[in-house]
Amino acid sequence: MAFITAADRQRIEAAIRAAEATTSGEFVTVVARTSDHYLTLPILYASGLALMTPLVLWLLRIETQALPLFLIQVAVFVTLALVFLWPPVTMRLVPHGAKLHHAARLAREQFFLRGLHETADRHGVLLFVSAAERYVEIVADRGIHAKVPDGAWDGIVGDFTRAVGEGRVADGFVMAIERCGDLLASHFPRRPEDRDELANRLFEI
């Protein structure tokens, strides 16, 4: 991904190793370009406007035969579909609530896909970013929820979201990892028998 460089990945992975050196928590970071292809709404909009073509021609007093009319409708549909499926336009068409829903669902899919629910102490933490939606979420496993209330993450998520919104994705990850590490170290300090259970890397999807 263009906004994550090799140097960014190295910074993020170094931050994960440093945080895990102080706590039994396991951190996984995931960045998605987008949480969905969002095909439905652009196609529906293009179809609806194409179906209105006969009405527009009638209002303009333009007469045409069935076959030319059909070809005009197809051309209108294809043209509008290509425009509406251009990512910057698509993201403006999709309602904010729908974008949040898709991003939240993908975050939870990644939590299970990356094995965060399988750590020995249930101390897994996912730091998730979906760039197109400017969506950030920290998902913690139940072992952490037992001692760390949901509100404890709010300030971290707020600063993380601002950094992503400004295009500083790597800075946001590093800051969030460091602060999550400090928070977890106070509740779940590193023990001699602890070992790395998950990959200390950034997953790009």
* 82 plus 13 within the same structural domain: no
pLDDT band of residue 121 (cuts 50, 70, 90) is: confident
Same domain membership, residue 63 and residue 104? no
Res. 1 pLDDT band, cuts 50 70 90: very low
Q: What is the DSSP letter of 189?
A: B
Domain total for the chain?
2
pTM reported for the whole predicted model: 0.85
What's the mean pLDDT when you consider all of the chain? Answer: 91
Residue 75 lies in a domain: yes
For residue 199, the model assigns a pLDDT of 87
Domain identity same for 65 and 113 = no
Whether 1 maps to a domain, the answer reads: no
The CATH number of residue 146's host domain is 3.10.310.50
In a domain, 142, yes or no: yes
Domain around 48: 40-93
Please choose, from the candidates 38, 39, 40, 45, the residue with its C-alpha nearest in 3D space to the C-alpha of residue 79. 45
Alpha-carbon distance of 102 to 84, in angstroms, equals 19
Whether 50 and 122 share a structural domain: no
107: which 2 tokens? 């975050």
Q: Looking at the structure, do residues 165 and 78 belong to the same domain, yes or no? A: no
Q: pLDDT category, 147, cuts 50, 70, 90? A: confident
Cβ(9)–Cβ(97) under 8 Å?
no
User: Is 114 found in the same domain as 188?
Assistant: yes
pLDDT digits (tens, 9 = 90+) for 170-204: 999 999 999 999 999 989 999 888 888 888 899 99
